[in-house]
Amino acid sequence: MIEKLSKHLFWDYNRDKLDQDMSADLIIERVFTRGYESDEREIFNYYGKDKIRQITMNARYFDARTLNYLSIILDTPKEEFRCYARSQLPTAFGI
């Protein structure tokens, strides 16, 4: 499946040594933050919606646009994502 994903997603990794099951977190997060719609279709076909939901809900960071998109396509309130809860924490010095 990795060979079907856009080359730019893993420019900093040796694609031949990247295990698609052991590196599922990395692959899924990269696809949603930097990938194309065709990349998303590939990971949905390979991992399935439940696995993608599990991984994205536990991710430490997604920008607001990506989080909203994931919330819609996974039919899950954005408040349930770990990265949403982290973004609501007060920052140092109230800034």
pLDDT at position 32, please?
97
Contacts 24+ apart (CB under 8 A), 64-71: 66/32, 66/33, 69/32, 70/32
Is residue 16 within 8 A of residue 31, CB to CB? The reply is: no
Q: Which residue do the tokens 């039919």 mark?
A: 75
pLDDT at position 90, please?
58
User: Which tokens sit at 17?
Assistant: 């040594």
Residue 91 confidence (pLDDT) above 90: no
Read off the pLDDT of residues 49-71 as tens digits, 9 standing for 90 and up: 999 999 999 999 999 999 999 99
Residue 47 confidence (pLDDT) above 60: yes
Of the chain, the end-to-end C-alpha distance in Å amounts to 43
Residue 89 confidence (pLDDT) above 60: no
Is residue 50 within 8 A of residue 80, CB to CB? The reply is: no
Residue 24 confidence (pLDDT) above 60: yes
